[in-house]
A and B are shown apart, each in its own frame.
Chain A
Amino acid sequence: MAEKLLEVKNLCVSFKTRKGIVRAVNNLSFSINHGEVLGIVGESGSGKSVSMSAVMGLIKDENAEITGEVIFNGEDLLKKSDEELRAIRGKDIAMVFQDPMTALTPVYTIGWHIREQLQLHSDISDKAAKERAIELLEEVGIPDPVKRVDQYPHEFSGGMRQRAIIAMALSLNPKLLIADEPTTALDVTIQAQILDLLERLRKTHNSSIIIITHDMGVVSELSSEVLVMYAGRMVERSTKSSLFAHPQHPYTKGLMNSVPRVDRARTSRLETISGQPASLLNLPSGCAFRTRCPSAHAACTEQPAFTADSNGYGAACFLLSKAGAP
């Protein structure tokens, strides 16, 4: 078995608020191997972004409490100082965010940004950095890179900016790229291009990708494995094909059913998941999904354990454990 690149064990991220303690991430455990693509799916508030911010050490709130283990390359990131993490951020783990329009300091050129990324972690000269920047821009498909490298972010369109940002993120060949809703702010047509780009780059740079999204379409394009989150917990984990073919958790089933499909009759109504997304301040006891679950029953007032098979795939639902492990 390949050595795991990133292993997250019992990650908990809670915030102290006036109204009580909010558990944005509750006992999250998963792992990702080299070269894999993991999709993390969930609604706003599910904890998907917060968990990855915690992995990168980007949570700066004094009211936050983070426990658990985040093992990357054999070391626990949660035990590292900010200085040590800075050496890792951008170099071994890179992150790309949702809105390319506001993601770069407007007063510096794209070339300057890429050069900064390179010079933060290596002793590269200005000239060499510029050459490397031009190479990278070409690699991500930006036309006329020699001219573009001296242009400012606002001179790039949304899609091109996101490409440049991805180029910058991959410039030091990080082993892991975390992409937080990278296509949400973009046109659907551009979305497909960006996802293709990510897939292509993954192969050439041999990096793993964690892609955070709420869009099932994005998940199906890119990932090999999928993790579904609800109210801060992982409720299901599976391979992509498995998830789409036989979703096991009622929440996942609801998500699948609410996506319009080409192969269904046009007159059939879209199914929705009843109720409101969970408020983290007011979670139901036991399984957080039970107030919206069509299959809820008496046992659901207790927190169901995550029943997993030997690969770690499974779901957190009493229905599963009743039927026995798959």
Chain B
Amino acid sequence: MSDAPLHPLLQINPRQRRRARADFRFKLYGLGALLFALTFLVFFFADIIDKGLPAFQQAEILAQVEYSEAAVNNYNKAVDRKLVKLISRSWTRTIPMMLKAHPEMVGTSSEQWVLADYHVDQYLKGHDGHNLKKKYQAQVDRLYKEGKIRLAFNTGFFNSGDSKMPENAGILASAIGSVMVLLLTMLFAVPIGVMTAIYLEEFAPDNRFTQLIEVNINNLAAIPSILYGLLGLAIFINFMGVPRSSALAGGLTLALMTLPIIIIATRASLRSVPESIREAAYGLGASTLQTTWHHVLPLAMPGILTGSIIGLAQAMGETAPLLIIGMMAYIPEAPHSILEATTVLPAQVYTWSSESIRAFEERTAAGIMVLLAVLLTLNAVAVRLRNRSQQTW
């Protein structure tokens, strides 16, 4: 019995088989690369969350506070001598000032939850390297059993500025600094960037000069950001006399850095508006400004916003140029104006990361978590805007 010849569709030659195998292998490589990247991402997030999450809780001690005459002169007298070593000095030393401001409180007393010293906090959280002396350890254990010591939500992290005492260090000053800097960056970079892009795309003739400008803008986007810091230092601080370390100097410097990103994104967005829309408007006798303003810009807007947000998110996470203009500073008080010395979130994270006290480690990680949350939110907004813009013409 002779075999019937195979149907042509089923005749697979070695070449086709090799091709199929190459396809399969390539798919595997891609999947491998993806898994590799994902592993790092998961590891990064797990590490940051593991380190940072404890910082959102802070040890507090229930103490009888005596606002006596003696406490006005020596704040250590306000609390029971046995407890005072466990309580944060950054809290007790505010007592005399408070009593001077509110003399009517002198002579009163109250039982209240007060901030614990960071040694106690770290011991309670079970961290190695808490450095709490043996005799205090027993006392803390006893107080914990009596319910006179607790881990409460760390409001201080959000409503105080930097401090040399880790239990008192918070992100308020740097968060306000970041908001100020970001708003200023937006104020300078977005209008100038968008208008530059509109001019280059819709008005400027296409000649050697504009091509030169285009090449240079593209190059600027790839320049190491620290150079913008040097530029900011030279122009804004040394030449224009903007106060050093101020939000204004930071905003201007980051605006310089963000400009090319916004210009490039806006130009790409304008270019993606179909030429037929422009022709329709020009054909009806609209001027260039009317065509751009009434028809092109509305269609390009989602892309412009997306590009601007991504540029601003990048500016928000930037540290290097701010290093040069002195924003890597110790700022315990939130700034009240854009001319005061301030710092920003990533700079605060950097400052904490270089502290020698271990308790700052969890603060560092928590700062990164806050920064990441803000950046992810900004990016999510950008993605949403981009999805909404996917309309058909």
A and B bound? no
